[in-house]
Every structure is written in structure tokens, then in C-alpha cells.
Amino acid sequence: MIYSKTEFGNEGFVYFRYLLVAPATFIALSLFALYFTGRNKWGIRKEGLGRWSEILWGALIGVPMVICNILYNWIFGTFVFLQLPPTRDPDDNSFSMFFTNRLKYYMRLGMFPNMTFHLTRAINEWDEGHFDMKRS
């Protein structure tokens, strides 16, 4: 099947570059999914299993996820979107180096609408409410 420009908008090359970084995306999303599944579905929170389980979960899974998220944003995200990531959170103007910040920024400006649509929905599957979908 040959895709026309209209099916992906003007984002065809963005999707192509995204496919090239699929192994890195798999690792980043796997860590994200594992961390937030543990917190949201398995109850690894202070209220659920206690403070020490949350600290241990954060140290073993959370810290690698944060490091992977930042590296993915700056290395692979820059390659996919051909832009350096914004360093200010669009919600409160605080400093942020996360991939979430990049997607929020692009959603607000209407940049890469198809890619941000797909990525934000995938991320919300593991952490419901991670993105406010009422605005998009």
C-alpha cells in the first residue's frame, strides 16, 4: 500500500524517522509502561504497599525511566522531529527535559498533529490523565 501525503498530512518523513528509532522507542515506552503500571494498577504507592515499596520501585524502575526519557527526548526526539526540545513546560513555565513536555508544546502549537495524537494516546494508555485530552 502506498500512502498519500494526505493520510499523514505533511508528517510522512516524521513517521519514517520514528520507524527508524523504533528499538529505542520500545525501550523507552516499556520502562514508562512498567513504571506506571506498577504505580497505577499494582498499587505500588504509599497508600497501597507502603512507603518503602514506593521508594524501592522508584529507585529500580523510576530512575532508569527518567534517564531513558531525557535521553530519548534529546537524542531520538530531536532526530524524529528535527528540532531541539523545548525546555520549558507549557503549563507552568518550569524547566523540564521530558518527552511529555515536547508533546505538550507541539499540541499547543498545533505542530505534528498526527504524531502527537498517536503518541499522547499511547502514553495515556499506561498513565490515564498523563495528557489532558480535552485540549487536543
The CA distance from 22 to 32, in Å, is 15
pLDDT by residue (tens digit) across 3-61?
A: 444 456 678 899 999 999 999 999 999 999 898 888 877 777 666 667 788 888 889 99
Q: What is the pLDDT of residues 53-109, one digit of tens each?
A: 888 888 999 999 999 999 999 999 999 999 999 998 888 889 999 999 999 999 999
Count Cβ atoms within 10 A of the Cβ of residue 103 and give its class: 0-12 exposed, 13-18 middle, 19 or more buried: buried
CA 132 to chain centre: 13
Query: Which residue in this structure is represented by grid cell 527535559?
Result: 97
Length of the chain equals 136
